[in-house]
């Protein structure tokens, strides 16, 4: 591992993470961030972000977890944040194969071992990170428990049939356009800079939105736009593949907001009917990002996650 940059906004009072460069088995450069516990260690949390995100976005959540006694390790997935982009056009969120994210997760586990992160390890994932995490649990990810925030176990395609979306992605790939941004997959620029707060699908909290907006403005090189055709097709296929697998034998907490519009709520509810060890925490007045929502809902989520980690330590 080699030291990597970690960004902070001017005047940010939070303690910065230690950031490191890693290299996946296929040669892709990745960035991880490590926040150390500020009390007697009670374990560690592997924090898996969603699509478009970067490790700095979770600095405030990491502060809460480290104050509670947990080391936190997070990652920039390939193709986003400061990890290597996978094509000449850096704006679309792109991946060649969805299974490639498992190479990133494997490298993260190797780094956690080398950093001697306190045991037990727990999993905290959001959105796309929840899809990667579920696949990782099927590959015996070494964690004691898991918490999922709005996991991407299906994608809300609104009125488009899934077969049509997959077919469009396949055709675009055959025509050499698989790396182009797929219509309807998000802003061609940066969602936070292009969308009005009143219409956003992420949060009701204006203060959190302002922080994310400042970050996107200050660090445009770490942002990406809508997903590529290839990402869409591979992601949909991965969700179908996972839906056919049994549920892992691990204690799990899943959070779902009643205003979720990005991932498929039906896919989440279907999975939970087949997961005896999973508990659903439904939250009113929450959009896609519970960890970036209003203070009272954010506190409710964190309290539930910490209790879950403690109960299954």
Q: What is the pLDDT of residues 170-180, one digit of tens each?
A: 898 898 999 99
- Residue 251: count of CB within 10 angstroms of its CB: 18
Residue 197 clears pLDDT 80, i.e. is over it: yes
Confidence band, pLDDT 50/70/90 cuts, at residue 98: very high
Residue 188 clears pLDDT 80, i.e. is over it: no
Q: 2-311 has which fold?
A: Rossmann fold (3.40.50)
Quick one: average pLDDT of 284-293?
97
Quick one: average pLDDT of 143-161?
95
Tokens of 210: 């302002």
Q: What is the pLDDT of residues 105-118, one digit of tens each?
A: 999 999 999 999 99
CA dihedral in degrees (7, 10, 12, 13; nearest 10)?
A: 120
Residue 86 clears pLDDT 90, i.e. is over it: yes
Q: What is the pLDDT of residues 234-288, one digit of tens each?
A: 999 999 999 999 999 999 999 999 999 999 999 999 999 999 999 999 999 999 9
Q: What is the pLDDT of residues 28-60, one digit of tens each?
A: 999 999 999 989 999 999 999 999 999 999 999
């Amino acid at each position: 591992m080699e030291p990597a940059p970690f960004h902070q906004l001017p005047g940010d009072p939070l303690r910065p993470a230690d950031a490191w460069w890693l290299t996946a088995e296929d040669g892709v450069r990745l960035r991880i961030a490590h926040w150390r516990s500020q009390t007697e260690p009670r374990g560690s949390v592997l924090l898996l972000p969603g699509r478009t995100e970067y490790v700095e976005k979770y600095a405030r959540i990491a502060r809460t977890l480290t104050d509670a006694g947990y080391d936190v390790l997070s990652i920039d997935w390939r193709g986003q944040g400061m990890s290597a982009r996978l094509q000449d056009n850096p704006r679309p969120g792109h991946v060649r194969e969805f299974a490639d994210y498992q190479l990133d997760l494997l490298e993260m586990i190797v780094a956690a071992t080398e950093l001697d992160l306190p045991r037990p390890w727990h999993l905290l994932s959001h959105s796309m990170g929840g899809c990667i995490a579920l696949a990782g649990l099927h590959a015996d990810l070494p964690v004691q428990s898991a918490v999922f925030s709005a996991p991407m176990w299906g994608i809300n395609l609104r009125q488009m049939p899934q077969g049509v979306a997959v077919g469009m992605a396949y055709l675009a790939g055959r025509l050499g356009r698989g790396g182009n941004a797929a219509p309807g997959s998000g802003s061609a620029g940066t969602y936070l800079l292009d969308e009005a707060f009143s219409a956003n699908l992420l949060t009701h909290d204006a203060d959190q939105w302002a922080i994310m907006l400042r970050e996107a403005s200050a660090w445009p090189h770490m942002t990406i736009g809508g997903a590529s055709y290839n990402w869409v097709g591979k992601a949909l296929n991965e969700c179908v593949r996972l839906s056919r697998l049994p549920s892992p034998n691990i204690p799990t907490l899943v959070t779902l907001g009643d205003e979720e519009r990005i991932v498929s709520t039906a896919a989440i509810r279907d999975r939970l009917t087949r997961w005896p060890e999973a508990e659903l925490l439904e939250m009113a007045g929450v959009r896609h990002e519970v960890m970036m929502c209003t203070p009272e809902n954010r506190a409710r989520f964190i309290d539930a996650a910490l209790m879950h980690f403690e109960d299954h330590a």
